[in-house]
Amino acid sequence: MINKVSKILSRHLLILASVFVLFGSKSAFADILSPGIITTCGEIVTTGTYTLGNDISTSSGTCLTITSGGASASTTVDGYGYTIRGDVFADGISSSTPGHNFTLQNITVVGNVTSNGGYGANGGNIVTSSSTINTISVSGGAGAYGGSVTITNTNIDLTHLDLSMSGGSLTLNYINLIHTNFAFPALANLTLNGPGNLPGNLGAFGGGVLSFPGDVITNANQCNLAIAGTTTLGSDITGNCVITGNGGDS
């Protein structure tokens, strides 16, 4: 009798284990979304354009999982003015899997936007346009290329941006840039396209607060002069000034 009960229990445990393997992953319970109008959170597995038909949200964690996007950012999520409440997750979750490439436009994201590479894999490429996104994370795994972030907006406010990058390339396209005391991460390439596409490509940047022409420098942490132009001392400072831009005065 005991042996019979044990066999029944074992059979039930095996069935439960099989169910967990088949359906226990995050994506197994997520809606698979198709290009076109979307009205719920879910998983994007096919490149194309996805347009929000309303605000979408999740009670916790990830709202959109993106596993599409190859050599170019051919997956686009157009918010159409709506909001995502929850994370947009496009990490390469297994070894040697790079972060996935995508574009977010006309959208507000209340949550994290990530495209980190798996172990030994490159970070992905994130492009945002006319959007409000306060937390972005892109990096390569175990020393791989850090990926890229391109942000295009008439007004870019870096003071509210939590940007995590490890190397990689950052491009900002803007008319007005609010940057007070914003600490840029170390980057393989930094491009700032303001009015007239100036100052343009600044090349590799070692990280830290970047002073712009017209800024008033009050401490050595601000004395990172990579942009040609005139900056002004607002007080005596103690420490080093790093000058990597040509021309102008300070």
Q: Which domain holds residue 21?
A: 1-25
Residue 22: is its pLDDT beyond 50? Answer: no
Mean pLDDT throughout 24-52? Answer: 84
Task: State the pLDDT at residue 106.
Answer: 98
Are residue 5 and residue 129 in the same domain, yes or no? no
Are residue 46 and residue 156 in the same domain, yes or no? yes
Helix, strand and coil percent figures for the chain, each rounded to 5? 15, 45, 45
pLDDT tens string 56-71 = 999 889 999 999 865 5
Q: Which of the two residues, 11 and 242, has the higher pLDDT score? A: 242
Maximum distance among all Cα pairs of the chain, rounded to whole angstroms = 92
CA distance 220 to 209: 10
State the sign of the Cα–Cα–Cα–Cα dihedral 63, 66, 192, 176.
Answer: negative
What burial class does residue 119 get, using C-beta atoms within 10 Å of its C-beta: 0-12 exposed, 13-18 middle, 19+ buried? Answer: middle
| Domain assignment of residue 126, yes or no | yes
Are residue 51 and residue 125 in the same domain, yes or no? yes
Are residue 195 and residue 106 in the same domain, yes or no? yes
Are residue 43 and residue 166 in the same domain, yes or no? yes
Task: State the pLDDT at residue 9.
Answer: 41
Q: Which of the two residues, 241 and 119, has the higher pLDDT score? A: 119
Other Cβ atoms less than 10 A from the Cβ of 92: the count is 24
CA distances from 19 to 25, 28, 86 (A): 10, 11, 27
Task: State the pLDDT at residue 235.
Answer: 81
| Pick from 74, 64, 69, 53: nearest CA to 30 | 64
pLDDT tens string 125-179 = 999 999 999 999 999 988 899 999 999 999 999 999 999 998 999 999 999 999 9
Are residue 16 and residue 94 in the same domain, yes or no? no
Amino acid letter, 54: N
